[in-house]
Amino acid sequence: MKNDLVCKNIQKEYKGDGVTTIALKEVDVTFREGEFVSIVGPSGSGKSTLLSLIGTLDSPSKGTIHYGDAALEKMKAKALADFRFENIGFIFQQYHLLPTLTAIENVLAPLFSRKVPYKKKERAEELLASVGLGDKLHSLPSQLSGGQQQRVAIARALVHQPKWLLADEPTGNLDTETSEIIYDILKTLNQEQGCGVIFVTHEPELAARADRTIEMKDGVIVKDSRSVVHA
């Protein structure tokens, strides 16, 4: 399908001080349009590296990444920036909110220099309301809890209507109850808006509730399974 992400023979190497570290080893994986996928594995297994390559924050040392008919590894910097804006939303463990901006200003930040076919402020307000922060539009990050800040980050990641949401340990700094809330928000967005989600986590309980779980170890995929029951 046109919004599938296809990785073929992906390898990522890091070189420094005469030492080469292989973070990913000839990974082949396809993420289907609209899927909710969890990626699990110990630290250093290659989870975040794979996510950064899919999201074009980094480039593979070897192999190809296709989004539909587009070969991402062949794109120049400007084309990649446009691709990210049109297709990819990011959520990180550290919320990366700008401390001097309010919640709605943080959500609007990705749109500051972009022309879009919708009313920016209205979309930001709708997104914040959808994640339960309709009454926190003008709050600064310092006035919000960790879970609330992560919800702002989710709204910001969605403001440009991406096809895929890439979440790297989005619940890593949160307590169990708040983690469940964040997971449920992502699952609802996936089901109601059709936005594909790739969710890196250390939490097996959350990972097991995804449509599909990919397990990584030492830079390779060791298991790729689909859930029988979706939650």
Q: 124-135 pLDDT, tens per residue?
A: 999 999 899 999
Q: Is the pLDDT reported for residue 200 higher than 90?
A: yes
Residue 13, token pair as written in the block: 């190497």
Q: What is the mean pLDDT of residues 165-184?
A: 89
Is 197 or 194 the better-scoring residue by pLDDT? 197
H-helix or E-strand spanning residue 186 = helix 176-193
Q: What is the pLDDT of residue 117?
A: 74
In this predicted model, what pLDDT tens digit does every residue of 44-73 receive, in sequence order? 999 999 999 999 989 999 999 999 888 988
pLDDT at 230 (0 to 100): 46
Residues 65, 48: Cα–Cα separation, whole Å: 16
d(CA 221, CA 47): 9
pTM above threshold 0.85:
yes
Sign of the dihedral defined by the CA atoms of residues 136, 139, 144, 150, in that order:
positive
The mean pLDDT value of the chain amounts to 90
The stretch 98-119 carries a mean pLDDT of 89
The pLDDT tens digits for 20-34 are 999 999 999 999 999
pLDDT tens-digit map of 4-19? 999 999 999 998 888 9
Q: Is 41 helix (H, G, I), strand (E, B) or coil?
A: coil
pLDDT confidence band for 228 (50 / 70 / 90)? low
Helix (H) or strand (E) holding 11: strand 5-16
Write out the H or E segment, with its range, that includes residue 181.
helix 176-193
Percent of the chain clearing pLDDT 90 (strictly above): 58
